[in-house]
Amino acid sequence: MAICITILAAIGLVGSLISNPAGFLQRIAVIVLIVAAVYFLVRRFYQSSPEKREQRAFVKAAKKSKKRLQHKDSGHNKQRANVRSLASLRRNKATKKHPSHLTVIEGKKGKKKDRATF
């Protein structure tokens, strides 16, 4: 049944191409444009791609990091304005440490590989 429909469609396309080539090409171009427009609309509005979610998460993390750094820098600048002598500035830098944004992953740190096995 499907083979019969395919053969009839091929005969119709060949007949249309022979009788009116300009109209045939115009119809094909219109069909391609409509399919492309529908494809892009569906892709744009209905599908949430993982790239968009990852990009959104990255932008959110970047904003948070920027806000944290600006807050840290503004506090540091106020502190500099209040400190009058170089000695107290050095002492303050030595005693105050900011926590790192990196975390330590616990694991087997004490076990070393035996180099003789290589």
- What's the pLDDT tens digit per position in 6-56? 999 999 989 999 999 999 999 999 999 999 999 998 888 776 666 677 778
- 110 DSSP 8-state letter: S
The pTM assigned to this predicted structure is: 0.37
CA count, 13 A, side-chain hemisphere, 3: 0
d(CA 42, CA 45): 6
